[in-house]
Amino acid sequence: MRPYDVLFEQALTRVDPERIHHAAFGAIRAAAPVTGRVVRVPSRPVHALGLTFPHALGLAAGFDKNAVGIDGLAALGFGHVEIGTVTGEAQPGNPQPRLFRLKDDRAIVNRMGFNNDGAEVVAKRLAAWRSGGGSTILGVNIGKSKVVPEEEAARDYEKSAGLLAPYADYLVVNVSSPNTPGLRNLQAVEKLAPILAAVRRRADEARPDHRVPLLVKIAPDLSDDDVLAVADLALSSGLDGIIATNTTISRDGLASPAATVAGIGAGGLSGRPLTQRSEDVVRMLRRRVGPELTLIGVGGITTVDDARRRLVAGADLLQGYTAFVYEGPLWPRRIVRGLATDA
């Protein structure tokens, strides 16, 4: 058993997950000057979205919601960091407790509710980071403010895009979190299309000298037909890529006791239970869109073999979150090193 496994089982699991997250993230930020000097592992660059990524693996949105630890996370070995989800208006998120572990499934359930400082504050933070030399490839994931009604969603996304596009290497429209009421309704193509158009227009206005790539993040709970409809919309609307997938509302096939799962209640489930569905969605998307769009595979990637399979399915880039929690700070380097050995 690895030292981190002992620490996780004997200590970390005895403390509220959200408290542990904040403490661990603080340690990551504090250690950045040291971890950044660790010898780099061999890696294979990836060319996607008009960028050169040092390797395929990045950190998914949700870990650094407010852009406070980008350099520390990159120092652990992530080739890109996606911050957010950031909303147009600052919001506290849902009541606590709102983050839960399902250890038997190597899974997490969250109903955080897009808790973040809001686009204006995060934009100022990113401006300072960029002016200070921040160079990590940065994705900015934007979502709808809870107080904004569905019919005004495009305006809300547009606000965030205008404020954040100047500092982003790519933008992601998140319409797939289960923790903001009505948000997933926006995945319907007739509602998604005007949002994507508004974000594209506003991003171009904010960066007239540079086209910021735009992606959409979708849920694993979409039907196959709806996945293909989003793929067709992505092609017809000039999107640069799709991130597949977000968390799931399904609780099927879990090893955890049913009473434990029921006691946790609502929220998006991430981790190992998503592995197969997320892989299937990536494969389906690649067949539909051909080589034209960038696909980022996320959901249930824990081992090097998981990562390889997602790339074979058609992903250009990968992201992780839950495995980072369960496997510890050396996990990104293990995945990157393993992929670098492939022919």
Task: Name every residue whose Cβ is closer than 8 Å to that of residue 149 and which is 6 or more positions away in sequence.
Answer: none
143 known member of a binding site: no
71 known member of a binding site: no
Q: Which of 338, 330, 331 has its CA nearest to residue 310?
A: 338
324 known member of a binding site: no
13 known member of a binding site: no
290 known member of a binding site: no
Q: How far apart are CA 72 and CA 84, in angstroms?
A: 16
63 known member of a binding site: yes
191 known member of a binding site: no
Q: How far apart are CA 339 and CA 333, in angstroms?
A: 10
Which residue has 């950190």 as its token pair?
Answer: 59
Q: Are 243 and 296 in contact (CB under 8 A)?
A: yes
87 known member of a binding site: no
Q: How far apart are CA 86 and CA 116, in angstroms?
A: 6
144 known member of a binding site: no
110 known member of a binding site: yes
Point out the catalytic residue in the list 145, 160, 176, 177: 177
8 known member of a binding site: no
66 known member of a binding site: no
Q: How far apart are CA 114 and CA 131, in angstroms?
A: 27
299 known member of a binding site: no
120 exposed, middle or buried (CB, 10 Å; 0-12, 13-18, 19+)? middle
Is 177 among the residues known to form the active site?
A: yes
Q: How far apart are CA 162 and CA 165, in angstroms?
A: 6
Q: Are 198 and 186 in contact (CB under 8 A)?
A: no
Q: Which of 266, 256, 270 has its CA nearest to residue 102?
A: 256
65 known member of a binding site: yes
DSSP class per residue in 218-259: E-TTS-HHHHHHHHHHHHHTT--EEEE---B---TT--S-HH
179 known member of a binding site: yes
40 known member of a binding site: no
94 known member of a binding site: no
321 known member of a binding site: yes
In the sheet that holds 107-110, the strands lie side by side as 99-102, 107-110, 268-271
Q: How far apart are CA 99 and CA 10, in angstroms?
A: 19
**CA atoms 13, 19, 25, 27: torsion sign:** negative
141 known member of a binding site: yes
Residue numbers in the known binding site for FMN are 61-65, 85, 141, 174, 217, 245, 271, 300, 321-322
Residue numbers in the known binding site for substrate are 65, 110-114, 174, 179, 246-247
Residue numbers in the known binding site are 61-65, 85, 110-114, 141, 174, 179, 217, 245-247, 271, 300, 321-322
Q: What is the set of active-site residues?
A: 177
